[in-house]
Structure 1
Amino acid sequence: MAASDLVQELHSIGDRLLLKLQRLPQAEPVEILAFSVLVVFTATVVLLLLIACGFCCCQYCCPRRRGRRTQVGPMTPL
C-alpha cells in the first residue's frame, strides 16, 4: 500500500511541475528567476551526487596499482 501512495505522490508532483512549466511564459520575471534558481540548484545536487557515486564505484573497480617498495637505508657520510 505504501508503494501505491508513493507513486500517486510522485504523479501529483509531476503534474504540478508540468502545470508550473506551462504557466512559466506568462509568469513574472521574479517567478522565472526563482524557478531557474531551483532548477539549477537541483541539477547541481544531482550532478554532484552522480560524480561522487562514480568516483566511489571507479575506485573500488580499479584498485590502485602499488609499485614495488624498496627499503631505504641510512646514508653513509662522504
Structure 2
Amino acid sequence: MAASKLMQEIHSIGDRLLLKLQRLPQAEPVEILAFSVLVVFTATVVLLLLIACGFCCCQYCWPRRRGRRTQVGPMTPP
C-alpha cells in the first residue's frame, strides 16, 4: 500500500519536472535562473556523495604508510 503511494508520488514529481523542462524555453529569465540554481545544487550534492562514497570504499584499498620505528637507546657521554 505504502509502496504504491510512493511510486505514484515519484511519478507525479517526474511529470511535474518534465512539464517544467518542456516549458523552460518560453520561461522568464528568473525562472530559468532559479531552475539552473536547483540543478547545480542537486548536481553538487550528488557529486559530493559520490566522492565521499568513493573515498570510504577506496580507503582500505591503499596500504597505510607507517613510519619506521627505531629503538632509542641511552646516549653515551663523549
**TM-score computed with the length of structure 2 as normaliser:** 0.82
Residues 1:44 and 1:73: Cα distance change in structure 2 (over 3 Å): farther
| Residues in 2 aligned to 1:27 and 1:34: alpha-carbon distance in whole angstroms | 11
Residues 1:70 and 1:21: Cα distance change in structure 2 (over 3 Å): same
Residue-by-residue CA offset, 1:13-64 (whole Å, 9 max, x unaligned): 1110000000000000000000000000010011001100110111134452
**TM-score computed with the length of structure 1 as normaliser:** 0.82
The Cα RMSD (Å) is: 2.1
- How many pairs were matched up? 78
Structure 1: segments with no counterpart, 5+ residues: none
Shift of 1:72: 3.6
